[in-house]
């Protein structure tokens, strides 16, 4: 099976935020087709979580199992579709999606930070009940598209070690975390 590393780049109030996750397929997938699927079926489910000041600008896809091949980069310009950006919005506070595999322990889980969430979604450091409830259908669509034995997108969301991407575990569940996450500062493009 081929494993692909996907890096999405978003600008929120002047800060660059990146998500890195992995997809696996039986092979034969073109990097261009994977980038289009991520744009159309992955990001579309994250946009309602984000205020309209969050701007996705790039999707990079590379083969993780054959890292010497050149990556494909798709330039995009997509804004969040949630509430309007407010002065009080914290560019570092994020909604968090937790990924679970069948394996227990830290090697069987992962997470993804969704930057650019509106202050209206928060009650202190907790996601308010209405926002959690509204996110349920979005998360269910992500699970249908990217997890299980026959994901709709023909690409399975996986968790894998950087040193051995072929040793991956398939994600079996995606869960909204009710507690705020903070996108840590990282050197953009390093370690990807």
What is the rounded average pLDDT of the residues 6-18? Answer: 90
Contact between 23 and 151 under an 8 Å Cβ cutoff? The reply is no
Instruction: Report DSSP state, residue 85.
Output: P
What is the rounded average pLDDT of the residues 22-29? Answer: 86
CB-count exposure of residue 181 (10 Å: 0-12, 13-18, 19+): buried
**Mean pLDDT rounded to a whole number for the chain:** 88
What pLDDT is recorded for position 192? 45
Q: What is the pTM of this model?
A: 0.89
| 187 pLDDT more than 80 | no
| 122 pLDDT more than 70 | yes
Residue 107 CA from chain centroid, whole number: 18
Interacting residues of 113 by C-beta distance below 8 A, sequence separation 6+:
17, 19, 94, 95, 96, 181, 183
User: Confidence class of residue 141 from pLDDT cuts 50, 70 and 90?
Assistant: very high
In angstroms, rounded to a whole number, what is the distance separating the alpha carbons of residues 67 and 159? Answer: 17
Q: Which of 167, 166, 182, 187 is nearest to 114 (CA)?
A: 182
CA dihedral 151, 173, 111, 83 (to 10 degrees): 80
Phi and psi dihedrals of 110, rounded to 5?
-155, 180
Q: Give, in degrees to the nearest 5, the angle at Cα 124 between 122 and 126.
A: 60
Q: Which one has a higher pLDDT value, 24 or 28? A: 24
| 89 pLDDT more than 80 | no
In angstroms, rounded to a whole number, what is the distance separating the alpha carbons of residues 18 and 137? Answer: 24
Residue 64 CA from chain centroid, whole number: 17
Q: Which of 48, 62, 54, 56 is nearest to 75 (CA)?
A: 56
Contact between 98 and 109 under an 8 Å Cβ cutoff? The reply is yes
- The full set of domain ranges for the chain reads 2-182
């Amino acid at each position: 099976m081929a494993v692909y590393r996907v890096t999405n780049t978003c600008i929120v109030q002047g800060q660059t935020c990146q998500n890195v996750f992995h997809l696996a397929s039986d092979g034969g997938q073109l990097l261009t087709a994977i980038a289009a699927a991520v744009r159309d079926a992955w990001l579309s489910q994250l946009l309602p979580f984000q205020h309209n000041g969050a701007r996705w600008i790039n999707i990079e896809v590379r083969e993780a199992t054959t890292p010497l091949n050149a990556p494909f980069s798709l330039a995009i310009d997509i804004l969040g579709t949630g509430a309007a950006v407010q002065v009080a919005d914290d560019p570092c506070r994020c909604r968090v999606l937790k990924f679970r595999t069948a394996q227990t322990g830290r090697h069987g889980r992962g997470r993804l930070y969704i930057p650019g969430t509106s202050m209206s979604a928060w009650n202190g450091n907790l996601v308010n009940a209405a926002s959690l409830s509204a996110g349920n259908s979005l998360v269910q669509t992500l699970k249908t598209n990217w997890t299980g034995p026959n994901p709709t997108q023909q690409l399975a969301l996986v968790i894998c070690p950087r040193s051995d991407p072929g040793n991956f575990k398939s994600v079996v569940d995606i869960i909204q975390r009710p507690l705020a996450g903070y996108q840590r500062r990282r050197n953009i493009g390093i370690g990807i």
